[in-house]
Structure 1
Amino acid sequence: MASAHICIAFGPLAVYLLLMGLINALRRPFITTGARDLFSLSIALSGLVMVGPVNLFVPDSALSVFGPWAWVLLFALYLLVSLLIGISCRPRLVIYNLSSEQLKSVLGRLVAQLDPDARWAGDSVELPNLGMQLSIDKRNAMRSCQIIAVGIEQNQANWSKLKRELATELTNVKVTTNPYAISMIAVALVLGTLIAQQIIENHSLVYNQLRDWL
């Protein structure tokens, strides 16, 4: 792989892993929406996508007509498609640095406050007064969990309210540092070192390869 391609491919991924490592190193949970989580992952993989399939299938006619702007348009298209997929999916909340058991305990108290008529069935709960049905995803990879919408009919405004209220409740929850945080930070530093080495030792080569690629 060319030096310029290494920098482009692994640069966004290194930043993403570093941020995820820092988030998981916190001694408190971090909550975000499923759309934002998917969009941030799309940005992290954007470098690999641009030097991989996009570079392979980009039309030569587009490069001859638009020049370097063709890559800007393709990158914008990639981000727009990722954003469209994120907002088209069912509502979802992602909580990092928290186990599913801890989440269920916090969510149970919050649900009782938001809707006294809420009904639990295992890890799923229906809030009839708020027009919501949700379930806790127990796939606890890297000590993170999700709250996923169940069913098609969902009140989007109340999902936003649930996120705000849950974020407030989670500020009082203290957790230990996620052991996966060190691994993510270490991988990010390795990738960052590799990129810096390519730029420092082969800066002229990287510049020429980038110019030829564009």
Structure 2
Amino acid sequence: MDPLRTAIALIPLASYLLLLGLVNLRRRPLVTTGANDLATLGMALSGLVFIGPIELFRPEPATVKLGAYVWLLLLGLYWLGLSLVAMVVRPRLAIYNVTLEQLRPAVAEAVAQVDPDARWAGDSLVLPRLHVQLHLDSFPLMRHASLVSSGGEQSLEGWRRLKRALSRSLQGLTVSPNPRSVTLLTFAVLLFAISVAGLVASPEQVAQAWVSLTGF
């Protein structure tokens, strides 16, 4: 693969790893929605999609008619598709840099604030006043936890209220930096270095690849 396509594929992924590394260096957990989490991952993979499926299935008639602008159209379709998927996925809250044991008391405190009628059953939780049902999940290797919706009927406003309450509860929690952050940052720097080195070392190949992609 030429240096330009390599850079297009790796730079968004490196940016995502850099962001994850910085988040896991924090001494406080970070709460975000599942839609935002998915959209960020979609941005990280956009370069791979650009040089993979998008370039492979690029319609030739549209390329002839629109020239380089066809890429704006195809990328726009990708972002619209990603936005649609992010809007229709089941509600979820993602909490970075926290263990399940650290998260559980904060969830209990937040739930007590927004719904005194809440009922626990193991790792499952029902909040009847908010019309929210969920269960706790975790990824111990990356010190990452989630509140994942369970059941069909979910109130988006209830999830928003729960997120605000959980964010307040976690403000007083101080955690140690995640040791995995060093690995994430190292891979990010390595991918950036590979991308930049290829662009600098082979300007002729970059120019040729640019012409093949854009037509000028």
Q: Number of aligned pairs?
A: 214
**Deviating 4+ runs (over 6 angstroms):** none
> Does the alignment pair 1:13 with 2:16?
no
TM-score, length-normalised on structure 1?
Answer: 0.96
Tell whether the 8 Å contact from 1:136 to 1:145 is kept in structure 2 after alignment.
yes
Structure 2 distance, partners of 1:28, 1:189, is 24
Structure 1 distance, partners of 2:199, 2:3, is 8
Tell whether the 8 Å contact from 2:15 to 2:44 is kept in structure 1 after alignment.
yes
Q: Deviation at 1:101?
A: 1.4
Name structure 2 gaps, 5 residues minimum: none
> Does the alignment pair 1:78 with 2:78?
yes
Aligned ranges 1:29-44 → 2 under 5 Å: 29-44=29-44
Tell whether the 8 Å contact from 1:90 to 1:152 is kept in structure 2 after alignment.
no
Q: Deviation at 1:163?
A: 0.9
Name structure 1 gaps, 5 residues minimum: none
Other-structure match for 2:176: 176
Question: What is the DSSP-based 3-state SS (H/G/I as helix, E as strand, rest coil) of the residue aligned with 1:116?
Answer: coil
Structure 2 distance, partners of 1:138, 1:183, is 20
Aligned ranges 1:72-111 → 2 under 5 Å: 72-111=72-111
Other-structure match for 1:120: 120
Aligned ranges 1:49-88 → 2 under 5 Å: 49-88=49-88
Question: What is the DSSP-based 3-state SS (H/G/I as helix, E as strand, rest coil) of the residue aligned with 2:139?
Answer: coil
Greater displacement, 106-115 / 20-29: 106-115
Other-structure match for 1:152: 152
Q: CA RMSD in A?
A: 1.1
% identical aligned pairs: 42
Structure 2 distance, partners of 1:118, 1:37, is 26
Question: What is the DSSP-based 3-state SS (H/G/I as helix, E as strand, rest coil) of the residue aligned with 2:14?
Answer: helix
Q: Deviation at 1:141?
A: 3.9
Tell whether the 8 Å contact from 2:99 to 2:145 is kept in structure 1 after alignment.
yes
Structure 2 distance, partners of 1:211, 1:97, is 44
Structure 1 distance, partners of 2:20, 2:50, is 22
TM-score, length-normalised on structure 2?
Answer: 0.95
